Amino acid sequence: MIVSEIISEAEYADIIITLMKSPYKISSITKLVFIAFCVKHESNLYAYHNRTKDFVDVFFSNISLKFSIHYQEIGQIIHTIDMLNKSSKVLIDGDYIELKYDFDFQTENKFLKFCITKIPNPIIQINKLDAKAVVEEVLRYV
């Protein structure tokens, strides 16, 4: 595995664990996979300050080109979930996923740090969609 992949997986581990922790507590693998991808690739924070578009639109439209280029990162996300599963840090039942271990760390991800300070929190708003709605949104931009 090349260094860039290891770094990318480490970034995803940070994002995934943060998304499974409070206040998000995302419990669907489907949602976790796509939201983690969008979080890592979100760079246009300005769009969240200037609310001319819905959070959901801003969040998913951002992946439009990135998904076509970095699709192999979905594999990295799954690999990270698999590592957490095999090391019994999460409980998985079908699409359900729950964190079983208390990871004591603060996220380094810029977007997640931004979301914590933002009211309403964009990710909490996006998490209100069910898994199927998330896939529907992804299909608009993939």
Partner 1 sequence: MFKLESLLFNNRDDSQKYQFSKHTFIYGMNTVGKTALTKAIDYVLGSSENLTYQGLDNIDSIEAYLTNNLTTLWVKRTISGEYFYRRTEDSAYSEISADTYKDNICLMLTPNPNNHFVQVYSKVFDENPTFRSFNFLNYMEEKGLGDLSVVFTKARELKYQIRVSNIMDFFFNYNNIEQIYEKELLLEQREKELDELTKDYQEYERSLLQIQKLFRELQLKYTGNYEKDYSTFKKFQTSYTRTAQTKSKDLVYLSKASFSLAEEIKLYSFIQSQANNMVERKERIKRLLAILNSIVEGNHDYKQYIDFITKTVEEIQEENIILSLTDYQKAIRGIQTEKGKIDQQIMMLKGQASEITYEDAVKKIGLIEHIFSILNRNVDYTRLDSLRGETSKLKREIKELKSAFDKKEISAFNNRLTNLYLKSDLKVKHLIEDLHDTDFTLEFDPFRLCLFASHKTEEGVERFIPGSMARQTHLQMLIYLCMFDYLKRDFQDFIYMPLLIIDSANQPMGIEIFREVYPTIVNLAEEIGIQTIFLSKDHLDGISDQDFIDISSGLNKFHKQS
d(CA 18, CA 107): 7
E strands, 10-136, where?
90-93, 96-99
Stretch that binds partner 1, among 36-44, 49-57, 78-86, 116-124 (CB under 8 A): 78-86
Closest CA to 29 of 80, 71, 103: 80
Please give the Cα distance from 47 to 18 (Å, whole number). Answer: 22
Instruction: Tell me which amino acid residue 83 is.
Output: M
Given 66, 79, 89, 118, the residue binding partner 1 (CB under 8 A): 79
Q: Which of residues 47-76 bind partner 1 (CB under 8 A)?
A: 68, 71, 74-75
User: Is 6 among the residues that bind partner 1 (CB under 8 A)?
Assistant: no
Interface pick for partner 1 out of 6, 7, 10, 142 (rule CB under 8 A): 142
Integer Cα distance of 10 and 26 in angstroms: 19
By CB under 8 A, residue 126 contacts partner 1: no
Residues lying near partner 1 in the complex (CB under 8 A): 29-30, 33, 68, 71, 74-75, 78-79, 81-82, 92, 94-95, 131-132, 135-136, 138-140, 142
